[in-house]
Chains A and B, each alone.
Chain A
Amino acid sequence: MLPYQTLREIELFVFKEARLLDEGEFEAWLDLYAPQGIYWMPSKPGQTDPLNVASIIYEDHAILAIRVQRLLEARALVLTPMPRTVHMVSNIEVLNGEADSQEFEVGSAFLCTEIQGERHRIYTGRQVHHIARDGDSFRIRRKRVALMNCDGVHAPMTIPI
């Protein structure tokens, strides 16, 4: 059993990621990722291969940086008006890691509500963070976002989940 202190640190880190997205602090959000950190949103349930099967998003820090800059560009048509989101994260469990570990695998459930003009959308599913200690906080090595309807019919997505 992980000490409560460690579990709480991990939870607060995951909550912070969600809050930065809600606040539109996309550059600060990207700073949570390790220099070679990867954000992965598969397009198939149980997808294990990001090279031979297309993903909704499979991007490392360098590509995410372009995505973040686009979020900040006033000209992004799909972001006019800027969507507002609330990312809720719950059911957090540390799947891998001990009190003295440097790396943790953290599972959670998410619910993201997005409002843009008259349009409301809900994204939900489960996610797994691979995080590593970095000073007195963590960095994300990899985040895998499994949307419940990942293989369904979608409208364009804007703000990361």
Chain B
Amino acid sequence: MNQIMGEPQGVDFPISAEEIRGLVQPNHVHRRAYSDPAIFALEQERIFGRLWIYVAHESQLKNPGDFIRTRLSKFEVLVTRHHDGNIYVLHNRCPHRGARLCMVDQGSNRAFSCPYHAWVFRPDGSLASVPHPKSYPADFDIADRRNHMQRIANVQSYRGFVFANLSDNPPPLIEHLGPMTDVIDNLIDRAPDGEVEMSESSFALEYRGNWKLHMENAADIFHPTFVHSSSVMPARRAPANASILDQDQTREMLMANGFGFKEWEGIQLKGLDSGHTYMTAFYDSGVLSRQSEDPVSIEYRRRLAEKIGEERAAQVIGMNRFNNIIYPNLIINAQYQQMRIAIPLSVDRTLVRIQCFRLKGAPDGIFHRAVRFISNLGSPASMIFSDDVEMLERCQSGLKTDTGPWIDFSRGLDSDDKGADGSVSGAASEMPMRVQFNAWVRHMTTEAA
């Protein structure tokens, strides 16, 4: 009787655990992992339907009634702040006739009102009123949960980052995040006032490829030298400090993708059993990082040190991790307060959202750099990401056909170092993709939620 409408139904998938295991070898993955709609449907159930998935940042939901619209597995959901101060995640669907309720990505509403027959819902999803109540039968109860917007049972936050989970009894969010809490901590620690705020700066890009291609690309430091050469070369030839807009940030960022074997030496990749991966010792090599001591950086460091002391400020600013990937689909770069989410739409379509945070208490110039950083990296007209997307689409295109069904992930296989707290490898290794696929197989072969 507690069966709430729209709950993800157990679907009888014709894919056995054995079959799934057969798609992933130590050094190869079968193309079906990227191109089979049945595999995609199973991912929506067993990965996006069971793991903790990032849905919103609390700073987007400051006041009761504030909401954002996003996707959780195959569902469109609203993340809301209710009058009790709590955050709820609701299916964007009127329980009366099934109409989509909210048609915008973000806003503030005292209530969600269905325009069809005027059922009105509070931000926690409960039904506030229906017009002409006497025409409903005697046993119609507006307090009955079946008449409410359906709630996602599990919603937890870690320091303002809100995650939702569709499964019945998930482990605590903190367990899922594991050591990746470090990067969220570091992002917040960078704010002199100890708080970050999601800015309105964001981009949404759709590419014609599987979501995993993007997550692999974000863990891949081997490709930039090749893929981005068309922006590296012109940036190298361009005169320094010629722009009146950005203190040379764009030119430096574009050039930074032109690193070679020497810079690779310094970078280390880390992969955890949970599927999380990141790059360390990243900025030491000069990659993507502004090393000069300019007035904005000096003022920022001064403000941070004033709050937390010189030594701690140096530690916080010096944290040296890039493309921190929280499995399955969240990427955080604390240094430029930037975040990306890959939202799977279908087996061969993915939406990437790119956003940035404002560090409270930091000089405006620091935020202007974060804004410039996401424009350069993630705008639809980005000279960097557009070439990445082109490669992701070419991969998807190639993986459609069964010509040689196996793709290769063997680079670095002989030299990875498997320690107690995860795998470590050099920059050239494909270890992060192997780690992602190990987690993938584990989740995809777990039958019971």
| A residues whose Cβ falls under 8 Å from a Cβ of B | 36, 38, 41, 43-44, 51-60, 62-63, 65-67, 69-70, 73, 75-79, 152-158
Asked whether B368 lies within 8 Å of A43 as measured between CB atoms, the reply is no
Cα separation A44 to B200 with both chains bound (whole Å): 9
CB distance from B94 to the nearest CB of A (A): 25
B251 at the interface (CB under 8 A from A): yes
Given the contacts A52-B367, A78-B389, A73 and B203 also touching, CB distance less than 8 Å: no
A52 touches B251 (CB 8 A): no
Q: Does chain A have a CB within 8 A of B439?
A: no
**Known A-B contacts A60-B245, A62-B242, A76-B387; A54 and B202 likewise in contact (beta carbons under 8 Å):** yes
A-B contact list, 24 entries, CB within 8 Å: A38-B245, A43-B203, A52-B368, A52-B371, A53-B199, A53-B371, A54-B356, A55-B375, A56-B380, A58-B245, A59-B250, A60-B244, A62-B239, A62-B244, A66-B251, A66-B254, A70-B383, A76-B230, A77-B230, A77-B387, A78-B386, A154-B380, A156-B385, A157-B381
Q: Judge whether B390 and A77 touch: CB under 8 Å.
A: yes
Distance between Cα atoms of A45 and B227 in the complex (Å): 32
Question: For the complex, what is the distance from the CA of A77 to the CA of B237, rounded to whole Å?
Answer: 19
- Please count the residue pairs between chain A and chain B whose beta carbons lie under 8 angstroms apart in the complex: 127
Considering the complex, give the chain A residue whose CB is closest to the CB of B200. A53
> Are the CB atoms of B206 and A154 closer together than 8 Å?
yes
Q: Is the CB of B351 closer than 8 A to any CB of chain A?
A: yes
Q: Contact between B389 and A56 (Cβ–Cβ < 8 Å)?
A: no
Q: Are A55 and B379 in contact (CB under 8 A)?
A: yes
**Apart from A77-B227, A77-B230, what are 10 other A-B pairs with CB-CB below 8 Å?**
A43-B201, A43-B202, A56-B381, A65-B234, A70-B230, A76-B387, A77-B390, A154-B203, A156-B380, A157-B386
CA distance A59 to B390 in the complex (A): 23
Residues of chain A with a CB closer than 8 A to B237's CB: 69
Across the interface, B250 reaches (CB within 8 A) one of A36, A63, A156, namely A63
List residues of chain B with CB within 8 A of the CB of A76. Answer: 230-231, 387
Q: Distance (Å) between the CB of A149 and the closest chain B CB?
A: 10
Contacts of B202 in A (CB 8 A): 43, 54
Task: Identify A152's interface contact among B204, B367, B387, CB under 8 A.
Answer: B204
Chain B residues, Cβ within 8 Å of A154: 203-206, 380
Q: Does A66 lie within 8 Å of B203, measured CB to CB?
A: no
Cβ of B229 < 8 Å from any Cβ of A? Answer: yes
Contacts of A155 in B (CB 8 A): 205-207, 380, 389
Which of A44, A53, A54, A66 sits near B235, CB closer than 8 Å? A66
A62-B242, A66-B238 known; A57-B381 Cβ under 8 A: yes
In the complex, B86 has a CB within 8 A of chain A: no
Query: Is there contact, CB below 8 Å, between B234 and A156?
Result: no
The reply to whether A54 and B250 form a contact with Cβ atoms under 8 Å apart is no
A154 to B233, CA, bound (A): 26
Does A58 contact B386, Cβ atoms closer than 8 Å? no
* Bound CA span A38–B243, Å: 10
Beta-carbon contacts of B190-222 to A below 8 Å, as 1s and 0s? 000000000111111111000000000000000
Closest to A64 in B: B243
- Residue in A53, A75, A153, A158 whose beta carbon sits within 8 Å of that of B386 in the complex: A158
Q: Is the CB of B379 within 8 A of A54?
A: yes
Q: Which residues of A contact B381 (CB under 8 A)?
A: 41, 56-57, 156-157
Please name the residue on chain A nearest to B383 by beta carbon.
A70
Instruction: Tell me the smallest distance from the CB of B391 to a CB of chain A, in Å.
Output: 6
Contact yes or no, A66 B250, CB < 8 A: yes
CA distance A36 to B244 in the complex (A): 7
Minimal beta-carbon separation of A82 from chain B (angstroms):
12
Q: Is B175 an interface residue (CB 8 A)?
A: no
Q: CA separation between A62 and B248, bound complex, in Å? A: 9
Ordered nearest first, which 4 A-B pairs have the shortest CB separation? A69-B234, A156-B386, A154-B380, A54-B201
In the assembled complex, the Cα of A155 lies from the Cα of B237 at a distance in Å of 28
- Interface pair B379/A56, CB less than 8 Å apart: yes
B375 surroundings in chain A (CB, below 8 A): 54-58
Most chain A beta-carbon contacts within 10 A, residue among B201, B227, B251, B375:
B375
